Structure 1
Amino acid sequence: MKFGARTIKTGLSVAIVLLIAEAFQFQQIVVPALAASLALLPSVYQTGLRLIEEMKGNLIGALLSVGFLLLTPNPTPIAIGFVIIIAISILLFLNLESTTRTVILTTILIMEGASQSDMPVWVFAGERYLLIMMGITVALIVNALLFPPRYERKLEAQITDTFQMVVRIARLFAETEGGRSSFDSLPETKKLHSDSKQTYAYFEEEIKANRWLEKKTPIFRRAVLKSKMIETNRAALHVIEKLDHDFHTIEQLPPQLSEELYRHIRHLLRRHERLFSAYELENEHLIDREEDLIHENFDFAKLMIEKMREEEEELILIVVPLVATMTDWVKAMNELERYLVTEMKKHGDNLKVEPRKKWFFED
């Protein structure tokens, strides 16, 4: 059984905060623990931003609480609710709504506890504020230093898996004539592709969070390459979605045109496979650079339209948008090819991240 990295990091953050709170004999040890669990986010960059936002938001909540306590030493629940409403309104105005939960916690702790404490109000509020910040800071340290995310490896696996599923669907449709069942795994493929885009966003944030990487350009080259691979998968997936959407109409194509459609899809698919294989094997010679898929796609469209004029003209309204999506696929592959070939010639050794065995708790 593998545990999610986020689960392990959350538990570790809470444990460290509780140990620190007990070591310094803080009374409200639950406060920083709760703050740590709320502040832990998927990426180091996001957690860092949250730390800054929490410092601002909770300072606003603490100052409002102290100000109201100076006017009314024994606040009623209605008064506490009123202060919370004011605090949330200020947070929304300053675009700090992500801190709402911890600010509410801070406000309640200060206003409820200050009247029962012998400490001056500002001292009591300052202690609670520091407890919240301690929990959030520990979460950042755990996320950034002890278990930094490895999104690039996860991204590479997701891109490859998406590619393989796209190939499987397209082959079932174009080579085996698998019928509607060819598209059974389409929802799963779309979900995996969506996950790869999200992981890429985290990967970009990971780069931003590690400023020292600015002098190490290979990771930036790999990021650009992976974005083009994601775009190529997206374009291929768009063609498959179009085939699925218009399946019943495409079934009505005359046999000669159906075979031409299958042949063209197979040809595009082979180029897609060769590009990803060239990357995987680090061998640019797998790419046939003599092919001109732009003109071939145009010739395919011209042939289909001419033939359908002789058969059923209404099918043109289906085939033309399909050809447009294929053109998008071809353009994405051409972009990937140009970048891949150029980088292989100049920086072939830096294009792939070295595989590493996963820990049992890693995403």
Structure 2
Amino acid sequence: MKLGARILKTGIAIILALFLAQLIELPSPVFAGIAAIFALQPTIYRSYLTVIEQIQGNIIGAVIAVVFVLMFGNEFFIIGLAAILLITLNLKFNLENTISLSLVTLIAIMVTPGDEFIEFALLRFSTVMIGVFAAFMVNLVFLPPKYESKLYQKNTSITEEISKWIRISTRNATEHQLLKADIEKLREEILKLEHLYVMYKEERDYFKKNILAKSRKLVVYRQMNTTTKKALDTLKRLHRYENEILHMPESFQEAIQQELDCLINHHEQVLLKYIGKIKPEAAIMEGHECLNRKELFELFLSQQKDFVDDNKQILYHMMQLVSIIMEYGEHVEHLDTLITSFHSFHKDDQHLEVETKIEE
């Protein structure tokens, strides 16, 4: 079992929250530890937003708790009504993420009223907020997340898996059910890839130079993700129409095989180009140059005369296959252009940091 940064940070945040609450001699420091668990977030920016939201949500919870106890007491029924009101207000003010912790604050204040109730309520609120700030400090200082290297690694691993299956599929060597199961897994990996992109997008830079580079990187990674998804779409079409492809002339099958070999080679080389493994101006192709879109379309049209009306359905399916291959090629070319442009503007930029992390 791998001990990840999120697990370590959760433990450190709980320790820090409990230590600070005990250091200040606050009663029931356990509430600080609970607050730290709720407040820990995957990115520094989200952690900052959580602090702001939790302050608002817990103020609402504390105020409702104090008002209800002073006006109605602290019977179980009253606590339930206060919780309903708190949830309603949090939803109204778009503070859904604070509901759990603000309910903890409300219950912690309402269950133990006494002669010095207002002071007790302030102490409970302070204890919870110490946990929130402890989680923020841990997220800021300890093991700050670096989603760029994770995003690049995930992209390359998915692309390698798709490329492997495309090569096998074009040579009619796949096991149908096995490939079907792997396509489902790849769909799930694409969803994780998109989540990593969102996490990387939320990371904030505080220097103008880095902000400009980050904006260009976001464009590159967005296109990188789109190209990978188009590669998966191509694999799905190959899998869906594998029988129809076998009914096509051998010359057409060989041309599609060579074209896809060329495209996936180009795709893999473009990813290497981004981290400096290949020179930006390089255009390395194996065997032959990829067909341009006009040549590929003409190749498809040339097959029409060989099919009678009864086999037009096969031709219709091949049109879909050729269409997705053309789209895939367009996205690979666009990604190549973006990466070449990026290198021309940021020759010494942080893409080298990605390469270093991968090698480590």
Q: Same fold (TM over 0.5)?
A: yes
Q: Structure 1: which 5+ residue stretches go unaligned? A: none
Provide closer, same or farther for how the CA distance between residues 237 and 47 of structure 1 changes in structure 2, counting only shifts above 3 A.
Answer: same
Aligned partners of 1:131, 1:3: CA distance in 2, in Å?
Answer: 29
Equivalent position amino acid for 1:84 in 2: A
Provide closer, same or farther for how the CA distance between residues 244 and 176 of structure 1 changes in structure 2, counting only shifts above 3 A.
Answer: closer
**Partner deviation per Cα, 1:4-49 (whole Å, 9 max, x = no partner):** 1111000000001111111112111110100100111211111211
**Partner deviation per Cα, 1:113-165 (whole Å, 9 max, x = no partner):** 12xx332x332222211211111111111112222101111111111111111
Q: CA deviation at 1:3?
A: 0.5
Matched, 1:336 2:318: no
Q: CA deviation at 1:182?
A: 5.0
Aligned partners of 2:237, 2:279: CA distance in 1, in Å?
Answer: 32
Provide closer, same or farther for how the CA distance between residues 291 and 324 of structure 1 changes in structure 2, counting only shifts above 3 A.
Answer: closer
Which residue in the other structure is 2:56 paired with?
56
Which residue in the other structure is 2:35 paired with?
35
Which residue in the other structure is 1:352 paired with?
351
Matched, 1:284 2:268: no
Matched, 1:234 2:229: yes
Which residue in the other structure is 1:293 paired with?
292
Aligned partners of 1:277, 1:309: CA distance in 2, in Å?
Answer: 45
Which residue in the other structure is 2:196 paired with?
199
Which residue in the other structure is 2:22 paired with?
22
**Partner deviation per Cα, 1:37-79 (whole Å, 9 max, x = no partner):** 011121111121111111111111111111111212x321011
Equivalent position amino acid for 1:233 in 2: T
Q: CA deviation at 1:356?
A: 4.5
Provide closer, same or farther for how the CA distance between residues 215 and 274 of structure 1 changes in structure 2, counting only shifts above 3 A.
Answer: closer
Equivalent position amino acid for 2:245 in 1: I
Provide closer, same or farther for how the CA distance between residues 122 and 297 of structure 1 changes in structure 2, counting only shifts above 3 A.
Answer: farther
Which residue in the other structure is 2:242 paired with?
247
Q: CA deviation at 1:249?
A: 3.7
Q: How does 1:307-318 map to 2 (within 5 A)?
A: 307-309=306-308, 312-318=311-317
Q: 2:36, 2:132 within 8 Å by CA — same for their partners in 1?
A: yes
Aligned partners of 1:333, 1:193: CA distance in 2, in Å?
Answer: 17
Matched, 1:90 2:89: yes
Q: 2:169, 2:239 within 8 Å by CA — same for their partners in 1?
A: no
- Percent sequence identity over matched residues? 24
Q: 1:232, 1:333 within 8 Å by CA — same for their partners in 2?
A: yes
Provide closer, same or farther for how the CA distance between residues 277 and 153 of structure 1 changes in structure 2, counting only shifts above 3 A.
Answer: closer
Alpha-carbon RMSD: 2.5
Equivalent position amino acid for 2:101 in 1: T
Count of residue correspondences: 352
Provide closer, same or farther for how the CA distance between residues 347 and 310 of structure 1 changes in structure 2, counting only shifts above 3 A.
Answer: farther
Q: 1:166, 1:237 within 8 Å by CA — same for their partners in 2?
A: yes
Structure 1 window deviating more from structure 2 (287-296 vs 45-54): it is: 287-296
Aligned partners of 1:101, 1:239: CA distance in 2, in Å?
Answer: 44
Equivalent position amino acid for 1:192 in 2: E
Q: CA deviation at 1:256?
A: 4.1
Equivalent position amino acid for 2:227 in 1: T
Q: 1:58, 1:102 within 8 Å by CA — same for their partners in 2?
A: yes
Q: How does 1:21-170 map to 2 (within 5 A)?
A: 21-72=21-72, 74-114=73-113, 117-119=114-116, 121-170=117-166
Q: Structure 2: which 5+ residue stretches go unaligned? A: none
Q: 1:173, 1:182 within 8 Å by CA — same for their partners in 2?
A: no
Q: CA deviation at 1:357?
A: 5.7
Q: 2:13, 2:134 within 8 Å by CA — same for their partners in 1?
A: yes
Provide closer, same or farther for how the CA distance between residues 284 and 14 of structure 1 changes in structure 2, counting only shifts above 3 A.
Answer: same
Aligned partners of 1:306, 1:16: CA distance in 2, in Å?
Answer: 76
Aligned partners of 2:169, 2:22: CA distance in 1, in Å?
Answer: 63
Counterpart of 2:48 in 1: which secondary structure?
helix
Which residue in the other structure is 2:258 paired with?
263
Aligned partners of 1:128, 1:94: CA distance in 2, in Å?
Answer: 23
Provide closer, same or farther for how the CA distance between residues 4 and 59 of structure 1 changes in structure 2, counting only shifts above 3 A.
Answer: same
Q: Which has the higher contact order (CA 8 A, sep 6+)?
A: 1
Equivalent position amino acid for 2:100 in 1: R
Counterpart of 1:348 in 2: which secondary structure?
coil
Q: 1:36, 1:139 within 8 Å by CA — same for their partners in 2?
A: yes
Q: 2:259, 2:290 within 8 Å by CA — same for their partners in 1?
A: no
Counterpart of 1:350 in 2: which secondary structure?
coil
**Partner deviation per Cα, 1:209-266 (whole Å, 9 max, x = no partner):** x3x1433233333332222222111111111112223334434444444333323322
Equivalent position amino acid for 1:194 in 2: L
Q: TM-score, normalised by structure 1?
A: 0.88
Counterpart of 2:302 in 1: which secondary structure?
helix
Counterpart of 1:70 in 2: which secondary structure?
helix
**Partner deviation per Cα, 1:57-112 (whole Å, 9 max, x = no partner):** 1111111111111212x321011001100111111111111111111111111111
Aligned partners of 2:293, 2:254: CA distance in 1, in Å?
Answer: 20
1:222 to 217, 220, 244: 217
